[in-house]
Amino acid sequence: MNEPVFLKPVFKQMIWGGNRMRNEYGYDIPGDDTGECWAISAHPNGDCVVDGGEFDGMHLSELYKTHPELFGDNKERFPLLVKIIDAKADLSIQVHPDDKYAFEHENGSYGKTECWYILDCDKDAEIIIGHNAKTKEELADMINNGRWDDLITPRPIKKGDFFQIEPGTVHAIKKGTLILETQQSSDVTYRLYDYGRLQNGKPRELHLKQSIDVITCPHVDRGTEHEVLIEVEDSKVEELVDCKFYKVYKCDCFGTLTFTDSTNYRLFSVIEGQGNLSVTGSEKKYELKKGMHFIIPKTCTDFVLSGEMSLIMSESKAS
Ligand code: ZN
């Protein structure tokens, strides 16, 4: 098998969503409140379908189960999930559990480590990462008494910024931000505060006890790597993060980028421009453009990207 696996995204409408995925990516979104595009996902809440090729129409979860040779990591479930998030309004302030807590309290689910590449944002856009409580007691007091301004200090962001969000980290994407998120395949979120908003006339559920249980105190900022691994003429591959669950890279292709002896399957999202993909051993050339998402199986060890485009690439790590 030496062909890429293209996937059809699954869209989610959210009270904070917008329409930038239609206007900027050309997706056929279900409404002007589309908050999330699950672009590479085998999660039961949004299991992508293969678009074209040998496995056309198959769910990614099924491909992962029935063709382990394409992935070679022998996990029970496909481990990663790639999303685009369009935040027209603020997302709730939230936190995710780690694997241990999620496994015990959320029916054996994975925990959630995630990272954000800022695709675009308003000039004055901000994001929330971390909190100001020094101890669990202070944290509980701030949360239970709604002292949000004491607990949280937003920070400014700009296009191209990248953040790693470890489990236990208080975080929120704020309005005017378009993000590409790479995360563990999990849908477990504990909401601390939702700005008092209503959805269908009711506030969305909060999870204060679980939040206080899992929030790391005091907050520790996790830096990111930004190490340039390949640089050939104008093209380069930069490692953004290397954590327990994944590695994420930014690939800038101006001309060609050649990958040889690749030992893992890789997830790709074209975030800018257009070009082509060819896999050694195959005559076929695949056209790529902004908004396309695909997996290059482990069986394709040598492949070439060409054109003028930027991609976010990720790979799962054994853990
Ligand atoms: Zn999150």
Residue 319, pLDDT score: 54
- The pLDDT of 85-104, averaged and rounded, is 96
Ligand 1 center to 83 CA (angstroms): 11
The confidence band for 281, taking pLDDT boundaries of 50, 70 and 90, is: confident
In Å, how far are 12, 42, 77, 141 from 46, measured between CA atoms?
9, 7, 14, 37
In Å, how far are 2, 116, 211 from 60, measured between CA atoms?
17, 23, 31
The confidence band for 222, taking pLDDT boundaries of 50, 70 and 90, is: confident
d(CA 109, CA 187): 8
d(CA 29, CA 285): 28
Comparing 3-17, 45-59, 170-184, 186-200, the range with the smallest average pLDDT is 186-200
The confidence band for 115, taking pLDDT boundaries of 50, 70 and 90, is: very high
Confidence check: pLDDT of 223 > 90: no
- The pLDDT of 253-278, averaged and rounded, is 96
Ligand 1 center to 233 CA (angstroms): 36
Strand-pairing partners, residue 178, are 86, 120
Ligand 1 center to 167 CA (angstroms): 9
d(CA 276, CA 253): 10
Helix (H, G, I), strand (E, B) or coil at 141: helix
Burial of 182 (0-12, 13-18, 19+ CB in 10 A): buried
Q: Contact at 8 Å (CB) between 121 and 157?
A: yes
Q: Which residue has the higher pLDDT, 196 or 84?
A: 84
Ligand 1 center to 141 CA (angstroms): 23
Helix (H, G, I), strand (E, B) or coil at 46: strand
Phi, psi of 138 (to 5 degrees): -65, -40
pLDDT in tens, 33-92: 999 999 999 999 999 999 999 999 999 999 999 999 999 988 889 999 999 999 999 999
Ligand 1 center to 118 CA (angstroms): 14
Residue length of the chain:
319
Ligand 1 center to 196 CA (angstroms): 19
Domains recognised in the chain with CATH numbers: 5-214 (2.60.120.10), 227-316 (2.60.120.10)
State the chain's mean pLDDT as an integer.
95
Residue 74, pLDDT score: 80
The confidence band for 185, taking pLDDT boundaries of 50, 70 and 90, is: very high
Q: Which residue has the higher pLDDT, 293 or 108?
A: 293
Strand-pairing partners, residue 49, are 8, 59
Order of strands across the sheet that contains 34-40: 10-18, 34-40, 80-87, 177-184, 114-121, 162-165
Confidence check: pLDDT of 286 > 80: yes
Place of tokens 């704020």: 174
Residue 90, pLDDT score: 95
Q: Roughly how many angstroms between the first and final C-alpha of the chain, as a whole number?
A: 26
Ligand 1 center to 189 CA (angstroms): 7
pLDDT in tens, 201-211: 999 999 999 99
Catalytic residue among 77, 155, 191, 204: 191
Q: Where are the beta strands (DSSP E) in 144-216?
A: 155-156, 162-165, 171-173, 177-184, 190-193, 198-199, 202-203
- Whether 204 sits among the annotated catalytic residues: the reply is no
Ligand 1 center to 94 CA (angstroms): 7
Strand-pairing partners, residue 231, are 236
Task: Name the nearest CA neighbour of 36 among 82, 94, 93.
Answer: 82
Confidence check: pLDDT of 318 > 80: no
Neighbours of 19 (CB within 10 A): 15
Residue 17, pLDDT score: 96
Residue 77, pLDDT score: 92
Ligand 1 center to 276 CA (angstroms): 32
Q: Contact at 8 Å (CB) between 164 and 215?
A: no
pLDDT in tens, 136-182: 999 999 999 999 999 999 999 999 999 999 999 999 999 999 999 99
Burial of 2 (0-12, 13-18, 19+ CB in 10 A): middle
- The pLDDT of 185-200, averaged and rounded, is 92
